[in-house]
Chains A and B, each alone.
Chain A
Amino acid sequence: QKEVEQDPGPLSVPEGAIVSLNCTYSNSAFQYFMWYRQYSRKGPELLMYTYSSGNKEDGRFTAQVDKSSKYISLFIRDSQPSDSATYLCAMRRGGYGGATNKLIFGTGTLLAVQP
């Protein structure tokens, strides 16, 4: 079983829809949770970052972490065609330095927002 599971999609939605992207994980030591967005033929860029459980909102994006269920989500409100990309979840355990900065990634969900 992979440490991090993510539905690869593709997910196709109409413009303006609310998008929900999810990952599950098995390692209870994970403390830091991230979402990266990757446009075609580009490197991933950080979209959202959260520590431990809870919600974080940034504009149209909301990240949720439920550590009791080992489940994280990214919500995109009022989705736009420019949101079309692959979304990768990533996480790491607590602490600093050395191998603790190693991230474990999901395989990514391909999202297409249709105009």
Chain B
Amino acid sequence: DVKVTQSSRYLVKRTGEKVFLECVQDMDHENMFWYRQDPGLGLRLIYFSYDVKMKEKGDIPEGYSVSREKKERFSLILESASTNQTSMYLCASTSVQVDTQYFGPGTRLTVL
């Protein structure tokens, strides 16, 4: 079974803090994705990566950056957290030949 793990289930940070969210997958997938999920807005793509050190902006990249130094690990960075970044953050991965994405359990981030 594919396993996608995220570093924290719940996180509380203060405005202005730098926040790191980490995602690890164990299936040697090339593609990894970061989404945020908000009520009424569904899943919105922040960034994705289709190879090590490669990244592409999704639909809402502002205020976020990412890092992919190893194939199995994809990090989402909030350089200076703001209250409007309070959300559920979901990581997903897929291989080039597989038509679906496998999701992690999510990190519920609250920025005070």
Contact = CB atoms under 8 A, between A and B. Distances in A.
Nearest to B95: A101
A105 interface: yes
A59 interface: no
Contacts of B48: 99, 102
A102 B42 contact: no
A97 interface: yes
Contacts of A6: 42
Q: What size tier do the contact residues of chain A reach? A: 20 to 34
Given A101-B96, A102-B48, A43 B42 contact: no
Given A49-B99, A51-B99, A101-B50, 7 more contacts: A32-B99, A43-B103, A90-B101, A92-B99, A98-B50, A99-B50, A107-B41
Interface of B: 4, 31, 33, 40-43, 45, 48, 50, 56, 58, 90, 92, 94, 96-97, 99-106, 108
